A and B are shown apart, each in its own frame.
Chain A
């Protein structure tokens, strides 16, 4: 079975600083995707970034980047130049074609201090 683990229930960062959110996963699939989703107080799920497992290059989206370590089954999210609007719950998720479903981690609540 696929599992996703986020070991940091809460994190805090100063505005304009950089923060890294951790995620590890376990999977039996060879072809899969990994995602980071943001859930602000509105509760709307927003896709932040995705990584295809077959790609060695780490994905980046503006201030957001990942450190994908396939052998270690690690998938961390780095947020650079943190902004107040980045404050939210962040979920790491795994999707595999064989299971056809998203498995979410328990989430990390990020606070951004002005």
Chain B
């Protein structure tokens, strides 16, 4: 099956700093990648959709200047949380989908803690 990795799996950063999370499709070309946020014991909330080589489409209420998404290649998308604050602490999950496919393959997630 298709494999998606995320790095790092856990990250702790200080308030006011920025942190980058990588999402990679290891054995297929991901024309579309999705970024989700999940609070404890809650569901996955879609933050943004990115297509390779294009600007990401953000969901309503998601600050695009705070959550910078880059999908520069068919195997890599990055989410940068800029000027992180404690309320940004959450579990971030990416998923990837190939051209003309409906199924999304999920990464293992990244736990971000902002102190």
Residues in A lying within 8 Å of B, measured CB to CB: 33, 42-45, 47, 50, 91, 95, 97, 100-107, 109
Q: What's the minimum C-beta distance from B45 to chain A, rounded to whole angstroms?
A: 8
Q: What's the minimum C-beta distance from A61 to chain B, rounded to whole angstroms?
A: 14
On whether A45 and B93 interact (CB within 8 A), knowing A91-B43, A102-B46, A107-B43, the answer reads yes
Interface bits B41-55 vs A (CB < 8 Å: 1, else 0): 111111001000000
Interface bits B17-50 vs A (CB < 8 Å: 1, else 0): 0000000000000001010001001111110010
> Do B108 and A91 have beta carbons less than 8 Å apart?
no
| Secondary structure class of chain B's binding surface, majority of residues | strand
User: What CA separation (Å) do A106 and B93 show in the bound complex?
Assistant: 16
Q: Which chain A residue has the least Cβ–Cβ distance from B106?
A: A45
> Do A101 and B46 have beta carbons less than 8 Å apart?
yes
Interface pairs (7), CB distance under 8 Å: A43-B38, A44-B108, A50-B103, A101-B34, A101-B49, A102-B46, A105-B43
> Do B106 and A44 have beta carbons less than 8 Å apart?
yes
User: What CA separation (Å) do A45 and B102 show in the bound complex?
Assistant: 16
> Do B44 and A43 have beta carbons less than 8 Å apart?
no
User: What CA separation (Å) do A33 and B97 show in the bound complex?
Assistant: 15
User: What CA separation (Å) do A104 and B38 show in the bound complex?
Assistant: 11
B34: which A residues are within 8 A, CB to CB?
101-102
Task: Report which of A43, A44, A103, A106 forms a contact with B42, defined as CB distance below 8 A.
Answer: A106
A42: which B residues are within 8 A, CB to CB?
108
User: What CA separation (Å) do A100 and B32 show in the bound complex?
Assistant: 10
